[in-house]
Amino acid sequence: MKKMIVFALVLLFSLPLSATADDASRRQLAEQFLNINKVKDQVDLMYGKIEGIIFSQLEAIDIPDEREKNLQAMQKIALDLLFEGLSWDKLKDEYIQLYADTFTEEELQGIIDFSKSPLGQKMAEKSPILMQRSMEIGRQHAQQVMPQVQKAIQDYIKENIETAKKTEKKK
């Protein structure tokens, strides 16, 4: 009986250690996957796109010359804070954990093996282009439907204002 209890205790205390080792292995594989697929470079590329979007939006605003310096200073502060908060150093551990939590060790190894293959390398090379074009398709469709969305919102607001006015008159 004592042997059973000792065996059960050893088993009970060894489970967390094996789970920790398994988690560490998955995390290591997840980090390897992120490195092979150059996710840090993709995050850095995202910063450039965000900066470009912000610059183009600010350029579209008609700003008096005397305020432009202040706006540029504010823009630099905002971008610095944004990029600091979204830096790879801050995101990396969470990305690793995301992949480690999502995939088993075997799945991660399979994904890594694929990523190292010529087809996997081609996929990684083409993914940013596919993502950019996919976003462009979405943006184009959003622009096409935006007038309808704006009209629906205006109609809804107008209807609710009229309903509110009628309710006020009844009181």
- In this structure, is residue 14 part of a structural domain? yes
Residues 33, 99: contact at Cβ < 8 Å? yes
CA distance 1 to 8: 11
For 27, 76, 95, 124, the CA distances from 101, given in Å and listed in that order, are 9, 36, 10, 22
**Which position has the higher pLDDT, 85 or 2?**
85
Mean pLDDT, residues 23-29: 93
CA distance 153 to 122: 44
Q: What pLDDT was estimated at residue 11? A: 45
60 pLDDT higher than 80: no
Q: What pLDDT was estimated at residue 15? A: 46
- In this structure, is residue 83 part of a structural domain? yes
- Provide CB contacts within 8 A for 25, sequence distance 6+: 105
12 pLDDT higher than 80: no
Full residue range of the structural domain in which residue 14 is found: 2-116
Q: Give residue-wise pLDDT tens across range 110-123.
A: 999 999 999 999 98
pTM: 0.58
What total of structural domains would you count in the chain? 1
Q: What pLDDT was estimated at residue 142? A: 85
Interhelix angle 2-36/88-102, nearest 10 degrees = 130
